[in-house]
């Protein structure tokens, strides 16, 4: 089994600080969309969404990731105005009720990122790694906002899967740095389920430790994704918790510092158990 690195990253998020490497951080998913693949429509009411965010924080989430546009295959794109209508009341509400929360805005649009930061978000999670709307890098730099850069592409053709992903992530990092965002504020994500077949997703997870060459903490997002359903014989999203748990444990063992999940309470437990094994003396368990 791969043993986690002993490196620690300290990432300032507004008035808060995210420390990565001592234990696995949990990013709780909050989709305020009618059409997300797993929980679409559940949290479109702002009040319910805010309550769910507070529940996830209580259950152990370190970050709440608020998204206003589905990124599932075949999703219907929405404009910035509609995305803002969905996310801003939720971000403001979470910030009012949880002043110390780290809130991430899940968007690739510069205008949405700017408004979300002004509303209280203190992290950006861009599924296109600053390559879809290059202006978002300037927004992040202007506010010195920590950002997750995910690998994505519109097809599944690769010359060399993991090295092509690394090459693309290097480009994302260069884009961020050129705009004025220091590499110390960057987190990388291999993009499970984005521009990859089910077999490729499994291969990426198997070889994920190779991303260490980029020198940045790794976020892994596998929660309830279609690859899990396919491996487990076509299970619906509501029955993918055990499969998600397996990917979380393996992901942590292969180098993930953050896991992005729907089921915070249960995946927090999985992370704690895995940390006790792969981060000896650092995962929080000190003995009897």
Of residues 46 and 163, more confidently modeled? 163
Tell me if residue 88 falls in helix, strand or coil: helix
Sheet containing 123-126, strands listed edge to edge, beginning at the edge strand earlier in sequence: 186-189, 147-150, 123-126, 102-106, 63-67, 25-31, 258-261, 219-220
What digits encode the pLDDT tens for the residues 109-166? 999 999 999 999 999 999 999 999 989 999 999 999 999 999 999 999 999 999 999 9
Work out the percent of the chain whose per-residue pLDDT is above 70. 92
Please pick, among 225, 240, 268, 279, the residue that the annotation labels catalytic. 225
The 8-class DSSP code of residue 280 comes to T
Alpha-carbon torsion (52, 54, 57, 63), positive or negative? positive
Please tell me the least confidently modeled range out of 17-21, 32-36, 103-107: 32-36
Cα distance between residue 207 and residue 245, in whole Å: 18
In a domain, 270, yes or no: yes
Q: Are 140 and 163 in contact (CB under 8 A)?
A: no
The reply to whether 230 belongs to the active site is no
Residue 280: pLDDT band by 50, 70, 90 thresholds? confident
Q: Do residues 88 and 66 lie in contact, with contact meaning Cβ atoms separated by under 8 Å?
A: no
Residue at 282 is within a domain:
no
Domain assignment present for residue 205? The answer is: yes
Q: Would 287 be classed as within a structural domain? A: no
pLDDT, residue 74, reads: 61
Domain count of the fold of the chain: 1
CATH number of the domain residue 84 falls in? 3.20.20.20
**Rounded distance, CA 9 to CA 62, Å?**
15
Q: Structural domain of residue 132, as residue ranges?
A: 9-275
Q: How far apart are CA 216 and CA 273, in angstroms?
A: 24
Q: Report which secondary-structure segment, H or E, holds 34.
A: none
Residue 77 lies in a domain: yes
**In-domain check, residue 193:** yes
Q: How confident is the model over 65-83, as pLDDT tens digits?
A: 999 997 766 657 789 999 9
Q: Would you place residue 170 in the very low, low, confident or very high pLDDT band (cuts 50, 70, 90)?
A: very high
Query: How far, in Å, CA of 158 to CA of 180, rounded?
Result: 30
Q: Can you name the residues that pair with 124 across neighbouring β-strands? A: 105, 147
For residue 71, the model assigns a pLDDT of 74
pLDDT tens track for 206-235 = 999 999 999 999 999 999 999 999 999 999
CB 258 within 8 Å of CB 24: yes
Residue 216 in domain: yes
Query: Across the chain, where does the E strand assignment appear?
Result: 9-13, 16-20, 25-31, 63-67, 102-106, 123-126, 147-150, 186-189, 219-220, 258-261
Residue count (the chain): 288
Beta bridge mates, 19:
10
Q: Is 260 a catalytic residue?
A: yes
Q: Which two tokens stand for residue 17?
A: 């600080």
Q: How far apart are CA 173 and CA 282, in angstroms?
A: 28
- Please give the Cα distance from 29 to 20 (Å, whole number): 19
* Residue 250, pLDDT above cutoff 60: yes
Residue 285 located in a structural domain = no
Q: Of 231, 236, 170, nearest to 205 (Cα)?
A: 231
Q: Which of 23, 92, 260, 268 is catalytic?
A: 260
User: Cβ of 163: how many Cβ atoms within 10 Å?
Assistant: 13
């Amino acid at each position: 089994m791969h043993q986690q690195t002993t490196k620690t990253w300290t990432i300032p998020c507004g008035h808060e600080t995210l420390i990565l490497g001592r234990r696995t951080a949990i990013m709780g998913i909050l989709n305020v969309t009618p059409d997300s693949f797993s929980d679409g429509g559940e949290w479109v009411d702002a009040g319910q969404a805010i309550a769910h965010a507070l529940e996830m924080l209580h259950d152990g989430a370190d970050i709440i990731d608020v998204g206003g546009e589905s990124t599932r295959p075949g999703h219907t794109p929405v404009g910035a105005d509609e995305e803002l209508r969905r996310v801003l009341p939720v971000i403001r509400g979470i910030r009012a009720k949880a002043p110390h929360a780290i809130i991430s805005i899940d968007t690739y649009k510069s205008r949405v990122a700017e408004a979300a930061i002004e509303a209280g978000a203190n992290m950006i999670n861009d599924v296109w790694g600053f390559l879809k709307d290059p202006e978002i890098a300037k927004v992040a730099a202007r506010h010195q906002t920590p950002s997750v850069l995910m690998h994505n592409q519109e097809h599944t053709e690769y010359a060399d899967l993991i090295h092509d992903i690394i090459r693309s992530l290097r480009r994302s990092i260069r884009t961020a740095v050129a705009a004025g965002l220091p590499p110390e504020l960057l987190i990388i994500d291999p993009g499970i389920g984005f521009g990859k077949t089910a077999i490729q997703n499994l291969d990426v997870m198997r070889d994920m430790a190779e991303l260490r060459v980029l020198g940045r903490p790794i976020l892994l997002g596998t929660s309830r994704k279609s690859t899990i359903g396919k491996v487990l014989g076509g299970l619906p999203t509501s029955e993918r918790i055990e499969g998600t748990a397996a990917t979380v444990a393996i992901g942590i063992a292969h180098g993930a510092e953050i896991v992005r999940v729907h089921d915070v309470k249960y995946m927090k437990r999985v992370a704690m158990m895995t940390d006790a094994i792969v981060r000896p003396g650092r995962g929080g368990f000190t003995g009897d």
